[in-house]
Amino acid sequence: MNFLAHLHLAEHSHTSPLGNLLGDFVKGPLAGDLAPELLLGIRLHRAIDRFTDTHAEHKAACTLFPAPWRRFAPVVVDLLYDHWLSRHWARFSPRPLDDFLDAHYRALLAARPYHAEHLPHGLPLALRRMAEQRWLESYASREGIAMALDGIGRRLRRPLPLSAALAPLGEQEWQHIELGFLRFYPQLLAHTEQTGQALRQEMMAAQTHGQRG
């Protein structure tokens, strides 16, 4: 999933939005000095990505991309899922999307002392730009998704115009991905809620055990 979905899933599971976003930037073993809410958010992000990447609907969507774009299909489908979440937002949240995004942009940009304490290198540049330039509103349009894909493509080891991956998709393929998303996302919401609760209980138990030790 991409930025918009991870923010929504963080709110749905009552976990840290920043922690969930950081899952794209913090790799490998997690440092023990991370704030517990960030640690929980990153772990939940990883669980969400595992569930998504192995789900039959996501895999089916990836098969719609011919070579040479098939290798990039998981990245493209993740962003398309943010597109369909934007388009069907009212199905999944009673809160208007503009209000939701405004609140999260402000929170990201206003918490810099927190970043300094827990993120010695600061807020990742992509997240800062996302909030400052209000990227996520554009995800509701195909043009906005194309621009976002090209932004990702510029950050690849070998830069390329990643929006070209959309060219082989006809209206039938777009509809196939949309309907697959609508079947998949309620399952992801349920999985995220259950996994968030399980991770929180696991971390609380570990903390209690450590205090007793």
- Say what percent of the chain tops pLDDT 90: 78
Inter-axis angle of helices 3-13 and 36-53, nearest 10: 120
Span 103-113, average pLDDT:
86
pLDDT band at 122 (very low <50, low <70, confident <90, very high): confident
Q: Is the dihedral of CA 164, 135, 38, 89 positive or negative?
A: negative
Mean pLDDT score across all residues of the chain = 92
Query: What's the predicted TM-score (pTM) here?
Result: 0.93
State pLDDT tens for residues 50-84.
999 999 999 999 999 999 999 999 999 999 999 99
Please write the tens of the pLDDT for every residue from 127-178.
Answer: 999 999 999 999 999 999 999 999 999 988 899 999 999 999 999 999 999 9
What confidence tier does 210 reach under pLDDT thresholds 50, 70, 90? Answer: low
The segment with the largest mean pLDDT, out of 17-26, 50-59, 120-129, is 50-59
Instruction: Indicate if the pLDDT at residue 17 is higher than 90.
Output: yes
Q: Are 154 and 171 in contact (CB under 8 A)?
A: no
Give percent above pLDDT 70 in the chain.
95
Which of the two residues, 94 and 212, has the higher pLDDT score? Answer: 94
Is residue 120 very low, low, confident or very high in pLDDT (cuts 50, 70, 90)? Answer: low
H-only helix segments in the chain: 3-13, 17-22, 36-53, 56-62, 73-87, 89-92, 97-110, 112-118, 125-133, 142-154, 171-212
Q: What is the dihedral of CA 106, 110, 111, 112, to 10 degrees?
A: 130
**DSSP string over 32-44:** TTS-HHHHHHHHH
pLDDT at 206: 81
What is the Cα–Cα distance from 163 to 154, expressed in whole angstroms?
A: 11
Distance CA 198, CA 191 (A): 10
Q: Which residues contact 96 (CB under 8 A, 6 or more apart)?
A: none
Residue 116: pLDDT band by 50, 70, 90 thresholds? low
CA dist 61 → 2, 79, 112, 141 (Å)? 16, 12, 38, 19
Amino acid 114: pLDDT? 67
